[in-house]
Structure 1
Amino acid sequence: MAKSKTQKGFALNKLLSRLKNDDKFTSATELRDELETRLVAMRHEAVSHPLSNPVLELAHDLSERLAAGHISVDLLTELVQLVSVEAFADRAERVGDYVGLAGIDENKAKLSVLFNNLAQKEVATDIANGMAIKTGELVSFSEFQKRIEREAFGIVITAHPTFGLTKEHYQALAQLAADENSAGQVLSEQEIDGLNQLVIENSHEPDQKIDLLAEHAQAMLAIESIQQAMREIYDVALNVAAELYPENWTELSPKILSIASWVGYDLDGRTDITWATTLHTRLKVQVVQLRYYITALSKIMIDRNTDQDELGTTLALIKSRVSLALHVAEKETSFFGQSATTEDALKEISRSIASDDGARLVQTAELIEALNRAISLTEDDGLKRCLIILRSEIANYGLASSHMHVRLNSVQLHNAIRKNIGMEGEPDDPGRRRGNFRALSSLLDEVRPIRINFGSLSAEHTTAKRMFMLIAQMIKYVDASRPIRFLIAECDTPFTILTALYYAKYFGVDEHLDISPLFETGTALERGSEVIAELLDNEHYLAYVKNRGRLCIQTGFSDAGRYLGQVSASLAIERLHMKLARLLADRKVTGVEVVIFDTHGESMGRGAHPVSFADRLKYVSSPMTRSLFAKNEIPLKQEVSFQGGDGYLYFGTPKLALTTVTRLLEHALGQPEVDEDDPFYTNTDYSLDFFLSLKGFHEATLENKDYASLLGSFSTNLLYQTGSRKSKRQHEKHHGIDRGHPSQIRAIPHNAILQQLGYLANTAGGFGTAISRDLDAFVKLHGESDRVRRFMDMVSYAKGLSSLNTPEAYASLFNPRYWLAKAYAVKHTERARDQLRLSNLVGVTGRYDGMSRMLQSFRQDAIHLHRGLDALTADGQEKVFPFDTRRRINLIILHIVRLCLIQEIFLLSMRIPSFATRDDLNLDDLVQDILAMEIPSALEELKATFPVHEGQTNFSAKDYGEPSDYSDNETRDYSEEHQKIFAPIEELYDLCRRVSVGISNSIGAHG
């Protein structure tokens, strides 16, 4: 059961109590409460004053009070910190509620029930939908073994840029949510005080200049926590097995759930990760895992006192074998971790790698065989269990802490194959499509694997071929025990997958590689099943899939959510899932498991349902989809991603990690509750019209130049850098790319911009338009359809965190009339002169008109959405937002403060002295940069143009070879400008970005 609002954890209560009683925030608390009172009153008066905007009016008032000296920047800083701490505490409480936080014993009891059910025979009760009931009769041990040793679910750790807090703040968030420290112990008073001090006294901006190595380190901590949770799960599974199958339980090596990572291996749209970086990252996870195996063996030997017997000798030999392999891995990790290596050094390490002295370990078979012998040498059930858990880990993880996912873009594969087949243009060009396929098929007919070494790998400049070569070397010398997933982004043609298959065969890795197309654009999601159908018609692909025993696809909630809108993307993904199930059933493709990796993230904009973890999993992979695969007897493995700091949070303490993994297994191992009569699926005429209307709204929005104006008003300049991946896409080739198009902003920054503007358009938008087509039909459907209720819960949640008054207030900053009205109010003052000049400069940008038109479209849609939600309430289907009023008020207050700060920055820029054009930059250009909030680059130019001290008065003969009597009496010193203009702009901008973190915490994720 989730905690109620009155059941906050002890540590959270202590945090809020300290915040409430901290004298430092007395004035800030009073200002916050005043703003709330006025905001609520003004919103109530909106019926009588429909043209008013309370957000803008309060921001204007704060701005004028700041200018008059009635409030200070220090007070606003304290207010931002106060509200940010409250948002942080609220987020911690929501994390616990969201996953249904439970203690270790409670989670293990739930797992025990799951594994007991897994051992029971089923009887079909409804052939049509594949539903079944448990009989209480046990399945055979071999069947139970098959079920328990199958990977039913997968976690994929990714490093999308959502490191929106410092590592320490994420740890504090997890510990406050779980009421325990990272070791799983109840927080002590001293630890609580330390967390309170960290959260209250330190601003919440993320670690600056976070790089790939820092991301990888945090990913490794998350993986370590998941592995600890898995050990608990293995223990429960073995306890159940020992009770149900006492004669055979020691034969089990449970897998149940896989752990994978692409941190360091994702090259989609990136040019900053070298092959050596990828290899270094891969070797690091091997070193970590081998060290763990040695530690586990040592602990078993010490705890069980096995030194003097045959068992002790066997375990010592295993430990010695792993230690030899570790020494090799550490040496090679050190080499490839160097920032630069000479050709001679690469030759030397290559010779060392290629020479096999028996120390290298690339297969786990000998370790598992030795552990089997060790298990047979003891009658101690406790010791057996420890050894079996270790055996299970080796069988599951192989020689690394996680499975490996690499990712490229389809363009990188097309560029690699282009010369081989003489391809011009795109592979699906109508006039050349058949010829391209014939040429590629001919290559596949004749392909034979070739040999490569590190020299040929280093010399290769084509990204795709270099990746396949690297995979070949890693399989040969690092780990061949677990498959590697090869993900291909922006994949909408079978040609791309066949190209990958060709290179997999060419470099001899096809038996270890699972090629997985990523479908996330509208075209790819619509054509995805056709792509797979065409591939199954290809003898090479069909043989490959049957040989691998699995067919893998990836569906993306990121770009799909941007192009189609989040919910319509989810529905398109669901349709693809269902089409794939029907396709495989129709083709009678047997003996093949379907693996669907759904890359959704932690925010609504990336597909994470905000109500509960159970809703999140059912939203991403619907019960209807799962039942369709079950009905057609097609094994299905679902994988989901946990992205960056926001995702790793769910594994921040032992209790959180075990709870999260337990919820995943409850979903994966539980029977999907599906209503075959759900009208969303049976009344397809209405459902399809609704989907097409929603999809059309978002596609039109993305192509609307006014939407680009809205996003580009401040672009990503209000955000901190939250990861090593660039906000804008990197390209191997630049031809034909519209740099100003919203698609060139990555999905997470795109979502984050919407958060920072105050309207979650890609989640809440479009629904009013779709609902208004037939309001009565919608209300009826909502009442009868679980699927519709689930996605509407997400929509209403997003709407509750949105306020169109907020982006309209930001747009007003570019409205000349707004600044003219302000100037008229203060008349003959220096501030009025600044506002008059500003009115002309914002008019030059032309942004207001475009932003205003876009927001007008959103407003019309929102009116219809409100009517729809009101109709649900009138019908007794009330939508209750899962957050309180204070959370929403605090979110709006953060926007009010930042609007005030931005106004002051704009006005300060009007006081920058004129200067002669330098390096093609003039004053108006620089001010326009400031109006776009490109503050760091603008300040850099200003400080170079207006130095604090300039001029030289000592021209000595010693220095210059001859005397000089000249003295520059007009030394230029711009200290006053630095003090009164540049430094205040910098301070205000820093506070603007601190507001962005508070907003992210209020919503629950960055982007």
Structure 2
Amino acid sequence: MKTVADLKERLKSLHQQTSETPLFNPVFQLSLDLSRELEAGELTLDQIEGMICELETAALEDRAGRTRRLLDLPQDADSSIGPDFADFGAFREHWEQPRLHTVFTAHPTFLLTPDQATSLASATTGDGSVADAACTATEDRPAVTLDYEHARAMRAIGHAQDARDTIVSELLSGAAIKWPERWRDLKALPFRFATWVGYDMDGRTDIKWFDSIGFRLAEKAERLRRYVAKLEGIDSGHTLLATLHPALAYAEERAADFAQDLSEPEALSDAANRLTADHDHKLLSLTPVIAALEEEAQHAAEARAVQLLTLASAMRADGLGMGWIHFRVNAKQLHNAIRRRIEGGDKIDIGSKGALAVLRKMVRDVEPLRVNFGALAIEASTAIRQFLAMAQILHHVDADAPIRMLVAECEQPSTVMAALYYAKLFGIEDKVDVSPLFETETALEHGGRFLDALLQEEEYRTYARGRGRVCIQTGFSDAGRFVGQVPASLAIERLQGRMADAMRANALTGVAALVFNTHGESMGRGAHPASFRDRLEWPLSPWARSRFARGRIRLEPEVSFQGGDGYQFFETPELARATLRQIADYEWTEHAENDPDPFYTRTDLSLDFYRAIRGHQREHLESQTYSRAITAFGLGLLNSTGSRVSRRQSDVAADRTMNLRQIRAIPHNAILQQLGYPVNVIAGIGAAVEGNEEEIAQLIESSPRGRQLMRLARSANSLASIKTVAAYGELFNSAYWASRTYRGTEEGISYACQALADYLTTDDRNGVFRRLVSRLRVDALKFHKLLDHLPAEEPLPEREQVRRTLGVLQALRLTLFKHMFIRAVALPGFSRANDISRDDVLEMVFTLRIEDALAQMRRAFPTHFPQIANFEMDESSDWPDDSGEGYGPIGRDYIDPIERAYSLSLRITGAIANHFGAHG
């Protein structure tokens, strides 16, 4: 078996055996066939790499096809945008408010290399084929640093800005034909863009405060550069260039100042004083520039007026930056900060009514304080430092664009009041939107009461009216991990409905509700894979929208496009236009009162359905079986895909007891994909309908929301394989290794197999996987009974081929793991050093801490060491009397193959993620 076609054909024939032997595992058997050939020298790692490259290419092509369907490419470039309006007033109302706020976030999802992203984009908009050049060796992947993430975010936003300009220009041109006397009054604002890359401090300490200031200054310079280029394209001698050119030069100089290490007081003082000093070219507001462009457009020829108004629209949307910015801190960081301002604060319960009463008075009576960069430099509290940084940005970079303050794990009104206190203390409450994040099970469960209590606070209501909006953030990553993706979406929409009720009850219908739904691109993190309509409705359903509409509350929807996966929609200007047109053309639907969705009226069924799935997911999360299986390989199944660490540090022994809370949501969900079964999407649905399949099926089929839920579950199920999960458990089966060479076969590895069998007799992972697989299988049988009562979906023609491709990828990776295990146990014994024993190194290999294991192996068996010939000695020596080859053969035969096999396995990780459509 030397080709991918051979492997697929072999897997197909192996699958037929499952009808005879239900416990037979085709994926594991194929890996055994391949492993025997590899260990016998009939198959080489070079040949495996060739097959992996072919499979990587196929995975990118599969992802390109899916993206193409999602964006409905090719689009008709001549078609009108949005609904048809007969009245100019209605047209203005529709397009002068953002159809969507879009935030470019950067959690660890930068799986694709730049070359792969480019190839994928070309395939999406081209003929669908990907060149083999997209295959990238693991060691050639770029380091995903914060600077790398920021650069990719700015690139994606730049393409989004250009796409928005195209849409605005088309709207203006169309309006000029339809309303020739009024079209110049249109102040189109179809989209707003924002980012938190460089400003998100939740869960990380590696971002220095001057990094954030430096990023904001660099963004200002980049945006001014783009404005200048646009205006020069309209008129190279335009009078406003005399304002913008010097402002650009000044911004570039200040950005260069803050790109340096400003840890030393002298360096900071120099840079800060140059930034804070009055200067003729220190542009802090675009308001007069926008007014001048719009005034000129009133009298310009149509073509020139369209260009001027398009530029003015971009300036109104973005301000003096590539977009708005979101700072983010954790609630605990705010609690620690506010305790400093409360007498006896080190002992007070921040969530108590007493603390809330104190904070209420503090917010009401606070007197603003002046601050400077010195105060920012010496501040030790992360939360206070963020407010100080925001103050300096508003004072010295961009005075117009508001800043979002996202508060993670926010479960108490007092936390928001603490944030409001610091905003008022530093005089920026008129430009800062404090936004609590609801993502944990507790936050979602009690979020309604939280909002009721918060909106009853008079100081908060005054603040919200001043800002013109109430802001919340709902997250799908941790929610999808802790309660499951289906219950998370239902809990989030209930919370959104409670927000609308609370705003109505507290006379806040005159302000907007900004609901930021953060999610990733995969089906396990809140981005529905079936269609762009589903993608937009999944985090903000028609039912939730209707609750705001009933109270006549203007809704400002906001979503994220996360990291490398999300940026793929903006990888090229063409893709960015297609993405924004999909959103612009979508008509936000609302739950009709006269034709209600049965999912919300038959709550006797739907609530029980929701609670049962959530309970099933909680059982998994609390189960030691599930936790041990998911963390059996640590995080070694995954590529490094972000600058934010994926887990806390631990020693070797801790890997055996790693808690799921030690790893973040994205790697947790990514591991589920890599093991072959998206538990957090599928599990629990079957158990929730047991004994009531027919009635639940009728409810789902009669409900738009119910059908949407099932489209998500079916998409995940179409890629899921319980047999694959079982196959990974068999790697730790002592009986398998003991039996593999039982009849005298594979004599060359009999010692290694015996050693593995002996070592794994006390290992728990095989049993853990078997228990988990049994639970998943029972639940899946019940799920398929439900599917039997639902109309069959029309399968995509290539879906079965994708499933077989996934099976081949998994078998190849299992083969590589077996090769690593065999080489690791066959390594000659070595002495304990630095409290690391040979068994510790073996455990590192089994948990895929390969870099650590290789470092210990190379310490024990160095292949590069001083040679006697390196020394010019007068005295002769007969020692050493060997060839000086040392441990070279050990490196060649044992250590290097482990490294190579692991590197190849990580490329398989990328291919599997591409078939799922995203990392995590």
User: Shorter-normalised TM-score: what interval?
Assistant: over 0.9
Distance 1:673 1:32, change over 3 A: farther
Do the aligned residues in 2 keep the contact of 1:59 with 1:896 (CA within 8 Å)? Answer: yes
What corresponds to 2:416 in structure 1?
497
Per-residue CA deviation, residues 683-729 of structure 1 (Å, 9 max, x unaligned), is 11211111111011111211111112111111221221112111115
Structural mapping, 1:548-697, within 5 Å: 548-667=467-586, 676-697=595-616
Residues 942-962 of structure 1, C-alpha deviations (whole Å, 9 max, x = no match): 111111255664797979xxx
Q: 2:98 aligns with which of 148, 151, 155?
A: 151
Give the alignment of 1:251-270 within 5 angstroms.
251-270=185-204
- Paired residue for 2:740? 822
Deviation at 1:256, TM superposition (A): 2.0
Matched, 1:272 2:206: yes
CA distance in 1, matches of 2:868, 2:123: 60
- Could you tell me which residue of structure 2 aligns to residue 102 of structure 1? 74
1:415 to 328, 333, 336: 336
CA–CA distance in structure 2, aligned partners of residues 690 and 885 of structure 1 = 30
Confirm whether residue 217 of structure 1 aligns to residue 151 of structure 2: yes
Q: Which residue of 1 aligns with 2:122?
A: 175
2:24 maps to 52
- Residue 744 of structure 1 deviates from its aligned partner by 2.1
Q: Which residue of 1 aligns with 2:825?
A: 910
Structure 2 counterpart of 1:939, which letter? Answer: L
Asked if 2 retains the 8 angstrom alpha-carbon contact of 1:92 and 1:173, the reply is yes
Question: 2:133 — aligned with what?
Answer: 198
Corresponding residue for 1:310? none
8 Å CA contact 2:456–2:506 kept in 1: the answer is no
Corresponding position of 1:129: none
Match of 2:723? Answer: 805
Q: For residue 576 of structure 1, report the CA deviation from its aligned partner.
A: 0.8
Paired AA for residue 174 in structure 1: A
Structure 1 residue 877: Cα displacement? 4.5
Are the aligned partners of 2:487 and 2:613 in contact in 1 as well (CA < 8 Å)?
yes
List aligned pairs for 1:930-949, cutoff 5 A.
930-949=845-864
1:583 shift after superposition? 2.4
Q: CA RMSD in A?
A: 2.5
> How far apart are 1:969 and its partner, in Å?
4.5
Deviation at 1:602, TM superposition (A): 0.8
1:270 shift after superposition: 0.8
Please list, as runs of the form range in 1=range in 2, the aligned pairs for 1:87-486 lying within 5 A after superposition: 87-103=59-75, 105-106=77-78, 109-111=79-81, 113-114=82-83, 116-117=84-85, 120=86, 138=87, 141=89, 144-179=91-126, 196=131, 198-199=133-134, 202-203=136-137, 207-302=141-236, 315-316=238-239, 318-376=240-298, 378-421=299-342, 422-424=344-346, 427=349, 433-486=352-405
Question: Alpha-carbon deviation of 1:373?
Answer: 3.7
Task: Give the structure-2-normalised TM-score.
Answer: 0.95
Cα drift, residue 197 of structure 1: 5.0
SS of corresponding position for 1:406: strand
Question: What SS does structure 2 have at the residue aligned with 1:487?
Answer: strand
Alpha-carbon distance in 2 for matches of 1:427, 1:974: 62
Equivalent in the alignment of 2:809: 894
- Distance in 2 (alpha carbons) for counterparts of 1:331 and 1:951: 50
Counterpart in the other structure of 2:890: 977
Secondary structure of residue in 2 paired with 1:753: helix
Quote how far apart the aligned CAs of 1:342 are: 2.8
Cα offset, 1:174, TM superposition = 0.9
- Deviation of 1:522 after TM superposition, in Å, equals 1.0
Tell me if the contact between 2:104 and 2:196 (Cα under 8 Å) persists in the aligned partners. Answer: yes
Secondary structure of the 1:232 match is: helix
* 2:683 maps to which of 762, 765, 776: 765
CA distance in 1, matches of 2:6, 2:384: 63
**Residue 966 (structure 1) shift:** 8.2
8 Å CA contact 1:414, 1:427 repeated in 2: no
Q: Matches of 1:352 and 1:928 in 2, distance apart?
A: 55
For structure 1, the 5+ residue unaligned runs are: 1-26, 121-137, 181-186, 308-314, 732-736
Q: Secondary structure at the match of 2:131?
A: helix
Q: How big is the shift at 1:573?
A: 0.6
Distance in 2, Cα, partners of 1:898 & 1:956: 46
8 A contact 2:520–2:560 mirrored in 1? yes
Q: d(CA) in 1 for partners of 2:524 and 2:348?
A: 31
Contact 1:954–1:967 at 8 Å: present in 2 too? no
Q: In the alignment, which residue of structure 2 is the partner of 1:708?
A: 627
Counterpart-to-counterpart distance in 2, 1:534 and 1:828: 70
Aligned mates of 2:144, 2:389 — CA distance in 1: 26
User: How many Å separate the matches in 2 of 1:47 and 1:197?
Assistant: 37
User: Which residue identity is paired with 1:648?
Assistant: Y
Q: Indicate the SS of the match to 1:85.
A: helix
Q: Is the 8 A contact 1:152 1:668 kept in 2?
A: no
Structure 1 residue identity aligned to 2:724: T
Q: Structure 2 vs 1, CA of residues 858 and 695 (structure 1 numbering), >3 Å: closer, same or farther?
A: same
AA aligned to 1:819 is W
* Cα distance in 1 for residues equivalent to 2:830 and 2:649: 35
Offset, 1:965: 6.3
Q: Please name the residue that 1:68 is paired with.
A: 40
Identify if the C-alpha distance between structure 1 residues 882 and 739 changes in structure 2 by more than 3 Å, giving closer, same or farther: farther
Q: 1:328 to 1:674 in 2, by over 3 A?
A: farther
Cα distance in 2 between the residues matched to 1:768 and 1:276:
51
Change (3 A) 1:762 1:823: same
Note the alpha carbon deviations across 1:736-776, whole angstroms, 9 max, x for none.
x9982212211111111111111111111111111214112
Per-residue Cα deviation, 1:536-594 (whole angstroms, up to 9, x for no partner): 11111111011111001110010000001111111111111112122222333221100
3-state SS, counterpart of residue 441 of structure 1 = helix
Aligned counterparts of 1:821 and 1:560: Cα–Cα separation in 2: 43
Q: Which moved more, 1:497-506 or 1:776-785?
A: 776-785
Is the CA contact 2:461–2:508 (under 8 Å) kept in the aligned structure 1?
Answer: no
| CA distance in structure 1 between the aligned counterparts of 2:594 and 2:610, rounded to whole angstroms | 20
Q: Tell me, yes or no, if the aligned pair for 2:17 and 2:24 is still in contact at 8 Å.
A: no
1:901 maps to a residue whose letter is L
Could you tell me which runs of 5 or more consecutive residues in structure 2 were left unpaired when the two chains were aligned.
none
TM-score, with structure 1 as normaliser: 0.87
Q: Is the 8 A contact 2:628 2:656 kept in 1?
A: no
Equivalence for 1:719:
638
Structure-2 residue corresponding to 1:920 = 835
Deviations 1:320-352, CA, capped at 9 Å, x for gaps: 111222122111111111135531121122222
Q: Distance in 2 between matches of 1:730 and 1:203?
A: 27
Q: 2: distance between equivalents of 1:297 and 1:447?
A: 44
Size of the alignment, in residue pairs? 915
- 1:451-493 Cα offsets, whole Å, 9 max, x none, are 1111111111110000000000000000011111111111111
- 1:196-248 Cα distance to aligned partner (Å, 9 max, x none): 2523x655888332111111111111111111111111112213432443323
Percent of aligned positions that are identical? 37
**671 and 571 in structure 1: CA distance in 2 versus 1, 3 angstrom threshold:** closer
Cα distance change on mapping 1:235 and 1:469 into 2, 3 Å? same
Q: Could you say what secondary structure the match of 2:340 adopts?
A: helix
Determine the structure 1 residue equivalent to 2:708: 790
Distance 1:508 1:826 in 2: 80
